[in-house]
């Protein structure tokens, strides 16, 4: 399943936005992404998890070159695409595409479904006329839409159908990388299920790698092979899926796991919950050192180092990386509650 | 048995549009007891928000409301507007989904809370400010004294939602209706708000109606749950029984469609999909509204409307083929 | 059965046109506006057939005559039939109205779109250009053109067109700014679309409703503008009829024959009002949020 060379490599990615002018003069700098490095392997689904301000969507936009990275390197199938010109980037866009969160604004209301889905094929001059139609019909069938919907306009379709159209558009050229930015968050529960199932099926038949961006851990557990957790522009933990849910190391990850509600009252009410104090700090003024230290329940144990030094994303166990001063292989792990299982469920307690 | 705080009988809401009527709610009946948290669950268009807004007539002009809603013995739907205005915000208050649009951006937080107090309780400026401070402490906002003079845009989403809750609690209401209060908030912030609501219920004894599409939230704080589909009540049960023994195929479908975290390999089992789409609300089907999508549908469900029946203790369902576990 | 499940034989474009027609017919004011607008347009085009007399025909036996069977709206100081002159005058007004607006759109929309799409220094240039243009009200431009090129309907039309450009630049720029935030724009970029494709295929078509509405309310301004310019002698030159020149002629007779000013004045008001009302109605029905 995992090939030797990664299909997407992101190295030391940094993106700072200039915020509006402040009345006191001088501009603010939004530290959207700071030194993020990860790789996406062939055929895998990597979940990128974070809350507002984590920078996960910005990472996606940088990879797609929708915004220019401030610094860092992005490699697609070995090719450095970080600073490629528009023209040079075009042919490579066949390999890389994205599904968006909002089913309403991601489709041009003035184009029919057939036009929308066929646009990549037309723009890359791969097929025309009858051949183009055939490809459009095929991909519509693959995503579970009837062929006659080609003649419809987006506003005539439901949210779920629109997301399917978005998927069809991104997959029609058979890219090697699909970035899915919260593709189901705006949909109803029952519709979410069908889109998630569809994504899983398509990924196994078409074999593309997927960077799945979300804030919902339950979806991550359902879909992803590996998980990367971001907080305020930085990666705090990267781990294979089962390991993350069983043995999360970073206090933020543990808090996140604790905060996710479980649709089962017996379990949910028996859990010991960790409620973080305060708000997520603004990316305009991220805390010094470990950005999580202002909300970390274990702050006393890690001070003063956590206030001054940025923790490195270091290997805790094979494949499991953590950025925390309290986490060292061989040392007892930081725990927000006595029993790790309590964060997740009371079943094993 | 203490009298329920809210007793709604056969509430129906119809919208008068030019393309015909839209039947948003069809004969909803439910009760709300003192100090309980009632969760109303359903997907978009099921009528859950419309039901609650109809109670205090927060709906547009084109809405036609039928039925009765007894609040402390008086029918809200028959009340003259002046009396209703005294109920709104004071005895029954609302918290909506989007904290940014619930607060007026040009007034300070303190001013907005004090406005509620002045209107309903006629408190003097000094007393109002004191009470506003108390309320901000009640909702556990850090540095409350400073917040009073801040504007909404200076607060984060979670903080704003707490302010909105503070405003809703200003006059010590009997009923707090929270319409998707955490949907727009981050996961870790959501946990805090749910915790706060639990606290409010315990300390103040406020009854809470929690409208949501999120089954996890319901599992967290609801006492009883009401599942709505296409404007009708599909199922009603104590929360534990709803999750352990769902009766209506729609409820079973919903529970199967939600990814369940932390169940190891179980978490990866294929999600259940509900085929088909929600029926149009332009015509009230003279049959079970879910029949088109239901694997258990038969002649009976396609020709008659199922009425609510109690099939387990305190657990009723509107279905001809409930179960498993029906008595 | 939901709309999507039934197989329809009509194309989606035809369906949308039907829907718009239905909505339009529900608005009597807009319908009235359209009828009056069409009436003026038809009058302008078929003036030779509709006018009882030719534009310059004088009748010295009936100077300043009151309305009668022979001259339905009376005659002016030279014996010319007022009704015919109003009909002929519609030509100048409609020409000025339509052509100046078309000119303004052709100039303003590309400029506004480029500024709104590229932002940065390009946008700054566009903003300054707009500011400069705003500093020249159409009146001053018309005086300038008249001084350099001589007064004529064409020059008046040009002046009116240029006068309308800054407002349209602002609108085009605003729409572009809003539309480029829609997710289908990055989707198009991910498809490999270049800037030209995005601007012309994705942004412009989504602006057409706004532009149509804006055009419909720019035209009445131009109509009134033409009347003003002709009144001042900067537009249509006598003896060619124009509602503005008719007003100019009527000045000397305001106390004795106010009808000479009232009739052309009414024509101006009616034409402008009809376009405005039509524009309002169009704005309403084209808004995607409208439910009826």
**Going by DSSP bridges, is the β-strand pair A226-231/A45-49 parallel, antiparallel, or unpaired?**
parallel
Which of B190, B253, B260 is closest, CB to CB, to A263?
Answer: B260
Are the beta carbons of B190 and A215 separated by less than 8 Å? no
Interatomic CA distance for residues C280 and C122, integer angstroms: 33
Are the beta carbons of C190 and A66 separated by less than 8 Å? yes
pLDDT of residue C105: 95
Helical H segments across chain B, by residue range = 48-55, 81-87, 99-102, 109-121, 125-138, 144-147, 157-169, 187-204, 215-221, 239-244, 249-257, 299-303
* H, E, C per residue of A299-339: HHHHCCHHHHCCCCCEEEECCEEECCCCCCCCCCCCCCCCC
- pLDDT confidence band for B142 (50 / 70 / 90): confident
CA distances from A335 to A339, A340, B195 (A): 8, 7, 21
Number of domain units in chain C = 1
pLDDT of residue C2: 42
Which of A331-335, C49-53, C62-66, C183-187 has the highest mean predicted lDDT (pLDDT)? C183-187
- Give yes or no for C11 touching A (CB within 8 A): yes
**Contact indicator for C138, C159 with CB cutoff of 8 Å:** yes
**Contact indicator for B57, B84 with CB cutoff of 8 Å:** yes
Q: Quick check: B89 pLDDT over 90?
A: no
Which of A86, A119, A161 is closest, CB to CB, to C191?
Answer: A119
Are the beta carbons of A344 and B262 separated by less than 8 Å? yes
- pLDDT confidence band for C292 (50 / 70 / 90): low
Interatomic CA distance for residues A175 and A98, integer angstroms: 10
Residue to mutate among A149, A189, A252, A275, with most B CBs inside 10 A, is: A189
**Contact indicator for C200, C207 with CB cutoff of 8 Å:** no
User: ipTM value of the model?
Assistant: 0.87
Residues in chain B: 327
pLDDT in tens, B165-194: 999 999 899 999 999 999 888 888 888 899
Interatomic CA distance for residues B167 and B112, integer angstroms: 8
Q: Quick check: A186 pLDDT over 70?
A: yes
Distance from CA of A201 to the nearest CA of B (A): 10
Query: Token digits for A290?
Result: 């470990």
**Contact indicator for A91, A124 with CB cutoff of 8 Å:** yes
**Contact indicator for B4, B31 with CB cutoff of 8 Å:** yes
**Contact indicator for B130, B186 with CB cutoff of 8 Å:** no
Are the beta carbons of B17 and C292 separated by less than 8 Å? yes
Query: Token digits for A106?
Result: 């991601």
Residue to mutate among B43, B161, B180, B191, with most A CBs inside 10 A, is: B191
Q: Quick check: A238 pLDDT over 90?
A: yes
Chain B residues with CB under 8 Å of A185 CB are none
- Give yes or no for C2 touching B (CB within 8 A): yes
Q: Quick check: A271 pLDDT over 50?
A: yes
pLDDT of residue C143: 84
CA nearest B253: which of B306, B304, B285, B297? B297
Where do we find the tokens 């084209």?
A: C286
How many interchain CB pairs under 8 A, A with B? 138
Segment among A25-29, A186-190, C45-49, C230-234 with least mean pLDDT? A25-29
- pLDDT confidence band for C53 (50 / 70 / 90): confident
Where do we find the tokens 């919907």?
A: A149
Which of C182, C191, C202 is closest, CB to CB, to A120?
Answer: C191
Q: Quick check: B146 pLDDT over 60?
A: yes
- Give yes or no for A243 touching B (CB within 8 A): no
Q: What is the dihedral of CA A103, A105, A107, A111, to 10 degrees?
A: 140
B63-71, strands of its sheet edge to edge = B20-32, B6-17, B63-71, B74-75
Chain B residues with CB under 8 Å of C26 CB are 18
- Give yes or no for A51 touching B (CB within 8 A): yes
- The alpha carbons of chain A give a radius of gyration, in whole angstroms, of 21
- Give yes or no for A169 touching C (CB within 8 A): yes
Please list, in sequence order, all residues whose beta carbon lies within 8 angstroms of the beta carbon of residue A298, skipping any fewer than 6 positions away.
A251, A326, A334, A336
For B6-91+173-317, CATH gives: 3.40.50.300
Q: Find chains touching chain B: ≥3 CB pairs under 8 Å.
A: A, C
Q: What is the DSSP string of C156-225?
A: HHHHHHHHHHHHHHHHHHHHHHHHTTSTHHHHHHHHT--HHHIIIIIIGGGGHHHHHHHHHHHHHHHHHH
- In 10 A of CB A44, how many CB atoms? 21
CA nearest A245: which of B243, B194, B268, B183? B268
Q: Quick check: B219 pLDDT over 90?
A: yes
pLDDT of residue B260: 83
Domain extent at residue C175: 39-51+73-286
Query: Token digits for A67?
Result: 């915004």
Segment among A1-5, A10-14, C84-88 with least mean pLDDT? A1-5
**Contact indicator for C4, A158 with CB cutoff of 8 Å:** yes
pLDDT in tens, B46-73: 999 999 999 988 998 889 999 999 998 8
Residue C135 lies in a domain: yes
- pLDDT confidence band for A70 (50 / 70 / 90): very high
Q: What is the dihedral of CA C256, C260, C262, C267, to 10 degrees?
A: 180
Q: Quick check: B79 pLDDT over 70?
A: yes
- Give the mean pLDDT of chain C: 87
Interatomic CA distance for residues A250 and A333, integer angstroms: 9
- Give yes or no for A122 touching B (CB within 8 A): no
Q: Quick check: A275 pLDDT over 80?
A: no
* Span C75-102, average pLDDT: 90
Q: Quick check: A2 pLDDT over 70?
A: no
Distance from CA of C209 to the nearest CA of B (A): 23
* Span C155-184, average pLDDT: 92
Query: Token digits for A222?
Result: 């359902």
* Residue C262 burial by Cβ neighbours in a 10 Å radius (0-12, 13-18, 19+): middle
**Contact indicator for A11, A73 with CB cutoff of 8 Å:** yes
Q: Quick check: A206 pLDDT over 90?
A: yes
Where do we find the tokens 């960077």?
A: A211
Are the beta carbons of C186 and A86 separated by less than 8 Å? no
More confident residue, C145 or A65: A65
- pLDDT confidence band for B26 (50 / 70 / 90): very high
Tell me the pTM: 0.86
* Residue C75 DSSP one-character state: B
Which of A264, A265, A278 is closest, CB to CB, to B142?
Answer: A278
Residue to mutate among A143, A261, A262, A295, with most B CBs inside 10 A, is: A261
* H, E, C per residue of A166-231: HHHHHHCCCCCEEEEECCCCCCCHHHHHHHHHHHHHHHHHHCCEEEEEECCHHHHHHHCCEEEEEE
Segment among A26-30, A182-186, C6-10, C240-244 with least mean pLDDT? C6-10
pLDDT of residue C11: 67
Interatomic CA distance for residues C180 and A66, integer angstroms: 12
B53: Cα separation from own chain's centroid: 10
pLDDT of residue B113: 92
Helix axes C259-286, C82-118, angle to 10 degrees: 40
Chain C residues with CB under 8 Å of A124 CB are 192
**Contact indicator for C235, C152 with CB cutoff of 8 Å:** yes
pLDDT of residue A25: 52
* Residue A8 DSSP one-character state: E
Q: Quick check: A348 pLDDT over 60?
A: no
A27-40, strands of its sheet edge to edge = A27-40, A8-21, A71-76, A79-80
Distance from CA of C272 to the nearest CA of A (A): 31
Distance from CA of A173 to the nearest CA of C (A): 10
For A1-95+177-189+203-231, CATH gives: 3.40.50.300
**A98 membership: H or E segment, kind and range:** strand A96-99
Residues forming beta bridges with residue B70, ordered by sequence position? B7, B75
Query: Token digits for A220?
Result: 């991550």
Please list, in sequence order, all residues whose beta carbon lies within 8 angstroms of the beta carbon of residue A101, skipping any fewer than 6 positions away.
A181, A182, A183, A185, A186, C183
pLDDT of residue A47: 96
* Span A43-63, average pLDDT: 93
Q: Quick check: B1 pLDDT over 70?
A: no
- In 10 A of CB B165, how many CB atoms? 24
- pLDDT confidence band for C288 (50 / 70 / 90): low
Chain C residues with CB under 8 Å of A158 CB are 4
Query: Token digits for B197?
Result: 């609501």
The domain spanning residue C274 has which CATH number? 1.10.3720.10
Q: Find chains touching chain C: ≥3 CB pairs under 8 Å.
A: A, B
Distance from CA of B9 to the nearest CA of A (A): 28
Distance from CA of A277 to the nearest CA of B (A): 8
**Contact indicator for B197, B39 with CB cutoff of 8 Å:** no
CA distances from B142 to A277, A287, B292 (A): 9, 18, 51
Which of 194-213 (A) contact B at CB < 8 A?
194, 196-197
Residue C117 lies in a domain: yes
pLDDT of residue A1: 43
- Give the mean pLDDT of chain B: 90
Are the beta carbons of B18 and C291 separated by less than 8 Å? yes
**Contact indicator for B35, B240 with CB cutoff of 8 Å:** no
Interatomic CA distance for residues B301 and B289, integer angstroms: 9
Q: Quick check: A100 pLDDT over 90?
A: yes
- pLDDT confidence band for B21 (50 / 70 / 90): confident
**Going by DSSP bridges, is the β-strand pair A71-76/A8-21 parallel, antiparallel, or unpaired?**
antiparallel
pLDDT of residue C257: 87
Q: Quick check: C290 pLDDT over 80?
A: no
**A17 membership: H or E segment, kind and range:** strand A8-21
Which of B17, B18, B277 is closest, CB to CB, to C2?
Answer: B277
Residue to mutate among A101, A162, A264, A276, with most B CBs inside 10 A, is: A264
CA nearest C231: which of C83, C65, C78, C96? C96
**A272 membership: H or E segment, kind and range:** none
Q: What are phi and psi of A209, to 5 degrees?
A: -90, 150
Chain B residues with CB under 8 Å of C2 CB are 277, 280
- pLDDT confidence band for C110 (50 / 70 / 90): very high
Percent of chain A at pLDDT above 70?
93
Which of C4, C183, C192 is closest, CB to CB, to A105?
Answer: C183
Q: Find chains touching chain A: ≥3 CB pairs under 8 Å.
A: B, C
Which of 241-300 (A) contact C at CB < 8 A?
none
Please list, in sequence order, all residues whose beta carbon lies within 8 angstroms of the beta carbon of residue A129, skipping any fewer than 6 positions away.
none
């Amino acid at each position: 399943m995992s090939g030797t060379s990664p299909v997407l490599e992101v190295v030391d990615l940094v993106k700072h936005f200039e915020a509006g002018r402040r009345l006191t003069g001088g501009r603010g700098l939004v530290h959207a992404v700071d030194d993020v490095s990860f790789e996406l392997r062939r055929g895998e689904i990597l979940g990128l998890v974070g809350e507002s301000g984590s920078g996960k969507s910005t990472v996606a936009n940088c990879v797609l070159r929708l915004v220019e990275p401030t610094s860092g390197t992005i490699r697609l199938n070995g090719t450095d695409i970080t600073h490629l010109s528009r023209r040079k980037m075009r042919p490579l866009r066949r390999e890389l595409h994205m599904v968006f969160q909002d089913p309403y604004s991601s489709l041009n209301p003035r184009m029919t479904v057939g036009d929308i889905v066929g646009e990549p094929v037309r723009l890359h001059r791969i097929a025309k006329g009858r051949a183009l139609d055939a490809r459009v019909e095929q991909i519509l069938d693959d995503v579970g839409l009837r062929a006659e919907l080609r003649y419809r306009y987006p506003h005539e379709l439901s949210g779920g159908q629109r997301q399917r159209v978005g998927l069809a558009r991104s997959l029609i050229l058979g890219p090697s990388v699909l970035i899915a930015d919260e593709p189901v968050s705006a949909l109803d529960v029952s519709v979410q299920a069908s889109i998630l199932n569809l994504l899983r099926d398509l990924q196994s038949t078409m074999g593309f790698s997927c960077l799945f961006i979300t804030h919902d851990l339950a979806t991550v557990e359902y879909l992803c092979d590996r998980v990367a957790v971001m907080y305020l522009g930085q990666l705090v933990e990267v781990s294979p899926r089962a390991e993350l849910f069983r043995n999360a190391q970073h206090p933020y990850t543990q808090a996140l796991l604790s905060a996710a509600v479980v649709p089962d009252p017996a379990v949910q009410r028996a859990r010991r919950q960790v409620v973080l104090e305060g708000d997520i700090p603004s990316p305009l003024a991220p805390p010094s050192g470990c950005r999580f230290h202002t909300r970390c329940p274990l702050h006393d144990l890690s001070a003063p180092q956590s206030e001054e030094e940025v923790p490195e994303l270091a290997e805790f166990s094979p494949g499991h990386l953590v950025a925390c001063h309290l986490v060292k292989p061989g040392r007892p792990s930081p725990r927000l509650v006595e029993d790790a299982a309590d964060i997740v469920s009371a079943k094993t307690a | 048995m203490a009298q329920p705080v809210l007793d709604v009988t056969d509430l129906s809401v119809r919208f008068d549009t030019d393309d015909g009527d839209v039947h948003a709610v069809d004969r909803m009946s439910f009760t709300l007891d003192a100090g309980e948290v009632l969760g109303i669950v359903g997907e978009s268009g099921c009528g859950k928000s419309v039901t609650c807004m109809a109670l205090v007539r927060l709906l547009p002009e084109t809405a036609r409301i039928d039925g009765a809603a007894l609040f402390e013995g008086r029918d809200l739907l028959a009340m003259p507007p002046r009396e209703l205005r005294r109920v709104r915000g004071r005895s029954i208050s609302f918290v909506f989904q989007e904290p940014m649009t619930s607060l007026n951006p040009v007034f300070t937080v303190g001013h907005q809370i004090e406005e509620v107090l002045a209107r309903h309780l006629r408190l003097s400026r000094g007393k109002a400010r004191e009470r506003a401070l108390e309320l901000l402490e009640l909702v556990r906002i850090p540095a409350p004294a400073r917040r009073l003079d801040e504007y909404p845009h200076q607060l984060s989403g979670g903080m704003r939602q707490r302010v909105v809750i503070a405003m809703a609690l200003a006059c010590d209401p009997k009923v707090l209706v929270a319409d998707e209060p955490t949907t727009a908030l981050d996961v870790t912030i959501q946990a805090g708000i749910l915790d706060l609501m639990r606290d409010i219920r315990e300390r103040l004894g406020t009854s809470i109606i929690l409208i949501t599409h999120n089954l996890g939230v319901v599992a967290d704080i609801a006492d009883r749950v009401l599942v709505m589909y296409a404007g009708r009540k599909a199922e009603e049960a104590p929360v534990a029984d709803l999750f352990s023994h769902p009766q209506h195929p729609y409820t079973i479908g919903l529970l199967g469609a939600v990814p369940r975290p932390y169940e190891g390999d179980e978490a990866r089992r294929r999600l259940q999909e509900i085929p088909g789409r929600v029926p149009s609300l332009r015509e009230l089907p003279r049959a079970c509204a879910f029949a088109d999508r239901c694997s258990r549908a038969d002649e009976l469900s396609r020709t008659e409307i199922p009425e609510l029946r109690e099939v387990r203790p305190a657990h009723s369902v509107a279905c001809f083929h409930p179960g498993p576990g029906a008595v | 059965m939901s709309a999507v499940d039934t197989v329809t034989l009509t194309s989606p474009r035809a369906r949308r046109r039907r829907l718009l027609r239905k909505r339009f017919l529900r608005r009597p004011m807009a319908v009235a506006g359209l009828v009056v607008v069409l009436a003026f347009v038809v009058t302008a085009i078929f003036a030779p057939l509709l006018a009882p007399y030719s534009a310059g025909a004088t009748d010295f036996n009936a100077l300043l005559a009151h309305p009668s069977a022979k001259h339905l709206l009376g005659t002016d100081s030279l014996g010319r039939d007022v009704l015919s002159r109003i009909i002929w005058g519609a030509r100048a007004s409609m020409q000025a109205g339509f052509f100046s607006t078309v000119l303004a759109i052709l100039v303003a929309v590309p400029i506004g779109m480029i500024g709104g799409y590229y932002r940065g220094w390009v946008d700054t240039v566009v903003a300054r250009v707009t500011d400069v243009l705003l500093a020249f009200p159409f009146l001053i431009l018309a005086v300038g053109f008249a001084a350099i090129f001589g007064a004529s309907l064409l020059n008046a039309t040009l002046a009116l067109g240029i006068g309308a450009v800054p407002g349209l630049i602002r609108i085009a720029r605003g729409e572009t700014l809003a539309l480029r935030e829609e997710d289908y724009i990055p989707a198009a970029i991910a498809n490999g679309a270049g800037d030209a494709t995005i601007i012309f295929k994705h942004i412009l078509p989504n602006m057409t409703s706004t532009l149509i509405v804006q055009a419909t309310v720019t035209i009445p301004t131009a109509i009134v503008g033409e009347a003003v310019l002709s009144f001042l002698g900067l537009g249509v030159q006598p003896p060619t009829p124009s509602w503005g020149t008719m007003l100019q002629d009527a000045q000397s007779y305001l106390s004795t024959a106010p009808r000479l000013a009232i009739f052309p004045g009414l024509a101006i008001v009616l034409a402008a009002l009809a376009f405005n009302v039509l524009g309002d109605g169009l704005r309403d029905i084209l808004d995607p949020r409208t439910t009826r």
